[in-house]
């Protein structure tokens, strides 16, 4: 496929633009890029249209993790209205080069649940992104509430029982599948119990077979939306 054909726009969904090359990624056993993950998180947000839930795009989460200027970060965080959200999901990438687009080799996920005041890191490959997840946590924790004193009490934890990938390329799919399971848990957990988090639901729903099916599901979803254009 020529470069121009690979770059051809196939779908504009909310603020996400997908290209022909994204279909190729989904059609084979390849590492998901930022655009595909952003598309699915945007789709999840539309599917769970609660003002309580915020699914942060990969580019914004990456910028938050790597911003070194506190004043710039503060101005950037305000429009996200984090103190108003009860469930916030951040994709995490291990790209260390801020000048390199589409960099990195591994995806994971950090979810914040306000009722428990806890950030949970789900990593499908032996906590490979623990350093990046901790950096995100430290950048965000001061903005999670309008009361700066209570933000200091927020906890961080690794879910050591997070479902583990069985190959070297499905980490992005584990992020999308885990995000879907957590959003579903939030909607069905009527009491929003602070002591009963989503772990069992993630373990039950995020299996190798479900993850493999999710690749086909996202591809099918894109094609359906393309047909509606």
Under the banding of pLDDT at 50, 70 and 90, the label for residue 191 is: low
CB 91 within 8 A of CB 56: yes
In this prediction, residues 99-103 reach a mean pLDDT of: 65
E-strand stretches of 99-191? 107-113, 118-122, 155-158
Which is nearest to 43 in space by CA: 169, 203, 179?
Answer: 179
Q: How do beta strands 107-113 and 87-93 pair?
A: antiparallel
Residue 149 has pLDDT above 60, yes or no: no
DSSP state for residue 28 in the 8-state scheme: T
In this prediction, residues 109-138 reach a mean pLDDT of: 96
By percentage, how much of the chain surpasses pLDDT 70? 91
Question: Beta-carbon neighbour count of residue 99 at 10 Å?
Answer: 6
pLDDT digits (tens, 9 = 90+) for 9-59: 999 999 999 999 999 999 989 999 999 999 999 999 999 889 999 999 999
Distance CA 183, CA 48 (A): 7
Structural domain that includes position 22: 3-227
Q: Domain holding 183: CATH number?
A: 3.40.395.10
Domain count, the chain: 1
């Amino acid at each position: 496929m020529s470069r121009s054909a690979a770059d051809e726009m196939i779908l504009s969904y909310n603020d996400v633009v997908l290209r022909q090359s994204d279909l190729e990624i989904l059609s084979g056993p390849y590492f998901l890029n930022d655009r595909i993950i952003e598309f699915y998180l945007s789709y999840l947000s539309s599917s769970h249209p609660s003002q309580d839930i915020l699914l942060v795009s990969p580019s914004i989460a990456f910028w938050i993790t790597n911003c070194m200027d506190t004043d710039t970060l503060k101005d950037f965080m305000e429009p996200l209205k984090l103190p108003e959200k009860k469930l916030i999901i951040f994709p995490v990438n291990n790209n260390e080069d801020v000048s390199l687009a589409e960099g990195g080799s591994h995806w994971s996920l950090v979810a914040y649940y306000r009722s428990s005041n806890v950030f949970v890191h789900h990593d499908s490959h032996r906590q490979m992104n623990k350093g990046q997840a901790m950096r995100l946590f430290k950048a965000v924790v001061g903005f999670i509430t309008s009361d700066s004193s209570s933000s200091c009490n927020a906890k961080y934890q690794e879910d050591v029982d997070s479902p583990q990938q069985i190959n070297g390329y499905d980490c992005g799919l584990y992020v999308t599948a885990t995000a879907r399971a957590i959003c579903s848990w939030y909607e069905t957990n009527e009491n929003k119990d602070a002591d009963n988090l989503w772990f069992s639901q993630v373990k039950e729903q995020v299996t190798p077979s479900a993850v493999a099916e999710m690749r086909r599901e996202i591809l099918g979803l894109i094609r359906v939306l393309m047909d509606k254009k």
